[in-house]
Amino acid sequence: MPENNARKWTIISIILTLAGALMCAAGIILDEYDFYWLILVGLLVGLTFLILIFVFGAQARRLDRLFNHESELLAHWTFDLTQQRQKAEKEYQARKAGNRILLLVVISFFVVIGGLFLAFGFDDLSDAGVFLVIMLSVLGLITLAALLAPRAAHKRMLRSSPEVYVGPFSAWVLGEYTQWKAPMTRLNRVLLKMDKQDLIIDIDYFILQRYGYQQHHCRIPVPAGQEDEAGRAAMNIASANRVAFVPLPFTLAS
């Protein structure tokens, strides 16, 4: 059975939520004007990861239902190593491009917020120096994560079991988990189509991001000989989510 990584991220989120709470407590105990930023940063970290506890917890429970072949599982397929490498390379290139854009946004945010704090938030230069070191350290860690995460995900997909688990609200595809029934996520339609010579189930969905709803696709490869099962799985996904199902231009055998 594949590893349920959502459980690991649930534990990490719990730890970081507690870290945020400790930062808030430290800011309150010190009770000095120069340390009020500890409370603000602690609140930001704590509330963010408190939300993620529930997000990752729900993912972990849904993955367990898929991996244990419970009623939610619609299809389970195994692929060869060539298909696994092709999928990993496509995801790697897409993640690199997306992370570069996200990193530029984060750096801009840090520059603006950090500049305002340095300009108006401190009377003592030593306290401002400590704040600057912390901000630069956090930014450095975020930058490192943004640069290394795509490569780490690529290696994880190559090491993962070459399997696919398909459910009505989510799918685990060669080590990558996608769910289209989640907060700020809206499923648009389900397609069954050919990608060059390969049949895929294309889950077309939107996620609410900075500039409104952004379109995303979960491309689920179908092994040869499983066309009928793929058609039924795609129709069940569309039916469960009450969206349109777009089949192949020819009728699959029943």
In the three-class reduction of DSSP (H, G, I as helix; E, B as strand; rest coil), residue 195 is classed as strand
Report the percentage of the chain scoring pLDDT > 90: 24
Helix (H) or strand (E) run with residue 203 in it: strand 198-209
Res. 174: pLDDT tops 50? yes
In the three-class reduction of DSSP (H, G, I as helix; E, B as strand; rest coil), residue 230 is classed as helix
Helix (H) or strand (E) run with residue 187 in it: strand 185-195
Residue 25 backbone dihedrals phi, psi, to 5 degrees: -60, -40
Residue 254's pLDDT band (boundaries 50, 70, 90)? very low
What single-letter DSSP state applies at residue 74? Answer: -
Lowest mean pLDDT among 36-45, 120-129, 131-140, 233-242: 120-129
- 250 versus 200: the higher-pLDDT residue is 200
Total number of residues shown for the chain: 254
Res. 179: pLDDT tops 80? yes
Q: Which residues lie closer than 8 Å to 18 by C-beta, 6 or more apart?
A: none
Q: What is the pLDDT of residues 50-99, one digit of tens each?
A: 988 998 898 899 888 898 887 789 999 988 888 778 777 876 776 777 77
Angle ∠(81,145,18) on CA atoms, nearest 5: 115
Q: Which residues lie closer than 8 Å to 185 by C-beta, 6 or more apart?
A: 179, 205, 206, 207, 208
Residue type, 248: L
Token representation of residue 78:
């195994």
- Cα 197 vs. chain centroid, distance in angstroms? 29
- Per the CB < 8 A criterion, the answer to whether 167 and 62 are in contact is yes
Q: What is the pLDDT of residues 197-216, one digit of tens each?
A: 778 899 999 988 655 677 88
Q: Indicate the average pLDDT of the chain.
A: 83
User: What DSSP string describes 107-165?
Assistant: HHHHHHHHHHHHHHS-SSHHHHHHHHHHHHHHHHHHHHHHHHHHHHHHHHHHHS-SEEE
